[in-house]
Structure 1
Amino acid sequence: MMSQNLVALNEPYSMVSESYKMFSTNLNYTNRKKENNVILFTSTTTEEGKTISVANTAISYAKAGKKVLLIEGDLRKARIHEVFGLNVAPGLSDLLLGKKRLPEVVKTVEDIKNLHILTSGNFIADPTEILSSYAFDSFIDQVKQEFDIILIDAPPVLSVTDTVIISRVTDGVVLIIAMKETKKEAVKQAKKVLEKVEANILGVLMTKSERKMNKAYDYYQPDKKKNKTS
């Protein structure tokens, strides 16, 4: 069963859903010169709403007519498959290890046209090696030819090195921040880590807003001048 927090699907006319539509539009505008967008979503730590945010953004893109591939890139603590009620395996790990081909692992979701999901696959203790591999780079090159937009749900950037490794093949990064919960120092550190590897920070998506007009989520549009958080 799919999560009720998929507001872009379950509450398409709500202010929250509109926020995701606007955010995806802003990302499109920021990255408009790219023919194929590979965008990584990360956070400073867990429980900041990252997975739900990237899932709703993916749905917004799909409903706008984009052919979307949503990748469950957190191979340690995968959650995308739970959000959409899918089996975790086979998936990305099986593909990169040569056990499956792409058509065998990409899943679709009933009632969401244009959305394709690649779950994390069978568990591996240390995914850094396969994420650093030529197989991963080749996989990204392949899906860029087949999809309009690729969104990656990556681990929190301050928790493991996986996110930094994945960022090398992306066009940009979105940082998830929980209002009144995420520490300012954590945000600064996350920004520092991403900038050190020359990741293109497209913008910030703020979750858990207490504003009455948007009780669950808010958005910050990407900085059009610097394409980086302030």
Structure 2
Amino acid sequence: MKTAILVDGGFYRRRAQSRLGEKTAEERADELKKYCYRHLYHHGKPISDLYRIFYYDCLPMDKKVYHPLLQKQIDFSQSELRTWMLAFIEELKKKRKFAIRLGKLADEQAQFLLREDITRKLCRGTILAENLKEQDFMLDVKQKGVDMKIGLDIASLAYKQQVDQIVLISGDSDFVPAAKLARREGIDFILDPLYNPIKPDLFEHIDGLRTCDPKFNPKWIERS
């Protein structure tokens, strides 16, 4: 059996950061490769050959965005995240069997917004406007093209019968139409949400659910 592994990069990075901790670009790239390869094994025995690992993401902004609380422009071209991401993508490009698919950020619409919980507290009067802090705001910027690239690759892999199985590492439900298409073409479609909760009705559109590392489970407790 030949398997293609598709990784929603933004989703993986957020989950890995929260569950596995901060790492250098090189360490995170190595971690991702090793994790993907775990999908090719079951109880230590090989069950599939790797066709390719497709990684989808967007590079961080390199523009300035006005911060309403600080009342100044924040220059994201000099941010640590951008430096880290550029190094991370370069590390992935060096990996065998990796294909990088980059979308774009709708950075012309980027803006700082109050976090949802902070907005509720303001409305209830729990906190006052003069008590707001920098961390109470978040940058709101949407990705463009990533979901489309994932969908197109799933369709291409299915129609050309290049693989027998597709593993999608994502927590998004937008993949459903593409998953249904792949299954109609006889592809075994596995979703890996990294223990992120998914909607119950999604189970009818996939062939299996599998996360390969218990550390992604919020209930996991490390034993010394």
In the superposition, the TM-score normalised over structure 1's length comes to 0.39
Which structure has the highest helix share of the two? 2
**Higher RCO (C-alpha 8 Å, min separation 6):** 1
- When Rg is computed on C-alpha atoms for both structures, the one with the higher figure is 2
